[in-house]
Chains A and B, each alone.
Chain A
Amino acid sequence: MKTYTYTEKKDTRSGFGAGLAELGRTNPNVVALCADLTPSLKMGEFIKENPDRFFQIGIAEANMMGIAAGMTIGGKIPFTGTFANFSTGRVYDQIRQSIAYSDKNVKICASHAGLTLGEDGATHQILEDIGLMKMLPGMTVINPCDFNQTKAATIAIAEHHGPVYLRFGRPSVPIFTPADQKFEIGKAIHLTEGTDVTIVATGHLVWEALEASKALYEQGISAEVINIHTIKPLDTKAILDSVSKTGCIVTAEEHNYLGGLGESVARELAIHKPTPQEFVATQDTFGESGTPAQLMDKYGLNAEAIVNAAQKVIKRK
């Protein structure tokens, strides 16, 4: 079995900051907006190098989304930055009408998604954002897994014309994808080959899926781990090809089971190839305060939970 190791951990939001800084140097049409969270979004390098292309909006996210929509008129590519909660739920109608329905080329960049925001608690830990965003016609939804992939995704979405929701997080997580990767929107990445169970994961859960596959291997279970960094459009073919081999699937995400990756996968399976599926996700609940590791443990979003789900789903074959 192919195994993955890491020598460094970093937060995915820093990957966004690094990608944005590179775009600042290479694409003169890229502009950045922030609603009073520039250190949290790691936007400092871009701001320092491109002060004329940075717009501090203040604590006014609705206004930020509208301004971003307007800035596209005349050829700019706005990247908005705030927490995932304030990037989606707080401004849903602004995104719906002024960005998605208006076909505006805005990149909604959302940090501190999910439980791993940690101690600030449920007011800030959105677990519904993937669902909100994927339901908008024309919206691309991306949730990369580590620093390198978040940087590559940030750079890639500038070349994609249309609204994008880019979701990343706060905690330091292992860097295990290549620094020189080319990010292809909508293209799943096979991390391990396996025959007994497919595990598709997104965001922070991808590393946990790899850890789970090691534990499963020791139990004699061969798991195929797929990194679904793009939830919409979904790489249906990669999923169907894999379950054709394995006959069962576990989906894993730092999100409510309602509206998340798991539901998108279930729809494709229901249409094309009904397959037993288990969902590693939060169970229609709000989060709470705690350390990221405590929360992921308590809410069942880690390697152990994926192992349990894999054992369960294999029995349902």
Chain B
Amino acid sequence: MANTNELQDLTTQVRRDILRMVHKVNSGHPGGSLGCAEFLVALYNEIMDRKEGFDMDGLNEDLFFLSNGHISPVFYSVLAHAGYFPIEELSTFRLIDSRLQGHPTTHEGLPGVRIASGSLGQGLSVALGAAQTKKLNGDTHLVYSLHGDGELQEGQNWEAIMYASAKKVDNIIATVDLNGQQIDGATDHVLPMGSLRAKFEAFGWDVIDIEQGNDIEAILKGMAEAKALTGKGKPVCVLLKTVMGHGVDFMMHTHEWHGKAPNDEQLESALAQNPETLGDY
């Protein structure tokens, strides 16, 4: 059980990893990655019940599926720091012959990844399938998933959302990264989705709001509430309000850094705002 300070230090290091990874190859998606750093650090180091090592079947442990695969930098960094593969391997992100592909894949055998994602809208269906297999196996562990808010514009999500409650898949906690941004601008500008709480509730889900999605204590509290709602016949949705680009002042509150890497000067400024904690890879 890590304390909040340790998780915060790890989060800061993950931010540095993200920035350095995308800077090195001048590509990748820093904005959403930075915004989800606290959540994934808390999930992997405090919330999920994980086994040592990695096997694809993941029997008798909690599972996580990343649906918005473009935030691979934060996913890879968190996986590496959680011990799935060497932290030094982060330096191969998006390079030829790397296991750290632009979007996550099982194809190169990277431990910790159970499904390819990147083409949006598919992860919730996969997570539901894994959750139903857990039930068939008599495995009481939970399945977690993460989705972008813009990603919910993909129709397959709503097939899955409808299915989950109809089939009482109550061993899943699906989190939506509510950062309000997508490539072409604010989500409310591109395609306003109205109240996601109302929509999920109308589809028969229990919904938890985490208003401070970049605050570790708030995340731990909200996820504990979400976990308490599992096993009661309904799927659980967490609406995690984050700031895209969080932790780097010039990347915050804008869609501009969705898929753009910082230049040398920008990297220096961004790293200065996130001083090294656990050591750079």
Contact = CB atoms under 8 A, between A and B. Distances in A.
B116 interface: yes
Interface stretch (A57-65, A200-208, A245-253): A57-65
B127 interface: yes
Contacts, number: 118
A65 B133 contact: no
Contacts of B130: 70-71, 73-74
B57 A66 contact: no
Contacts of B134: 74
A57 B129 contact: no
B133 A71 contact: yes
Most A Cβ at <10 Å: residue of B128, B159, B167: B159
Contacts of A69: 115, 125-126, 129
B159 A63 contact: yes
Contacts of A52: 136
Contacts of A67: 125-126, 128-129, 132, 160, 163
Contacts of A101: 105-107, 116
Interface residues on B, range: 35 or more
Nearest to A60: B159
B106 to A, nearest CB: 5
Contacts of A104: 115
Nearest to B114: A73
B5 interface: no
A54 to B, nearest CB: 11
B131 A62 contact: no
Nearest to A28: B136
Nearest to A53: B136
A68 B133 CA distance: 10
A31 B63 CA distance: 21
Contact of B156 (A70, A74, A76, A94): A94
Contacts of A38: none
A70 B133 contact: yes
B157 to A, nearest CB: 9
A93 B115 CA distance: 14
B269 to A, nearest CB: 36
Interface in B128-164: 128-134, 136-137, 139, 155-156, 159-160, 162-163
B159 A70 contact: no
Interface in A105-139: none
Given A67-B129, A70-B126, A103 B106 contact: yes
Interface residues on A, range: 20 to 34
A84 B53 CA distance: 40
B163 A74 contact: no
B106 A98 contact: no
Contacts of A299: none
Contacts of B137: 74-75
A98 B115 contact: yes
A75 B119 CA distance: 25
Given A63-B159, A63-B163, A71-B132, A102 B125 contact: no
B119 A93 contact: yes
A52 B124 CA distance: 22
Contacts of B127: 70
A183 interface: no
Given A66-B129, A67-B132, A71-B133, A102 B156 contact: no
Interface in A66-99: 66-76, 78, 93-94, 96-98
Nearest to A31: B136
B59 interface: yes
A63 B162 CA distance: 10
Contacts of A65: 125
B111 interface: no
B56 A102 contact: no
A97 B119 contact: yes
B125 A75 contact: no
A69 B136 CA distance: 15
B192 to A, nearest CB: 24
Given A31-B136, A60-B159, A70 B125 contact: yes
Interface of A: 31, 52-53, 55, 57-58, 60, 62-76, 78, 93-94, 96-98, 101-104
Given A66-B129, A70-B129, 9 more contacts: A69-B126, A70-B126, A70-B131, A73-B58, A74-B59, A102-B106, A102-B107, A102-B115, A103-B107
18 contacts: A58-B159, A58-B166, A63-B128, A63-B163, A66-B126, A66-B160, A70-B131, A70-B133, A71-B133, A73-B56, A73-B114, A93-B122, A94-B156, A97-B118, A98-B125, A102-B106, A102-B107, A102-B116
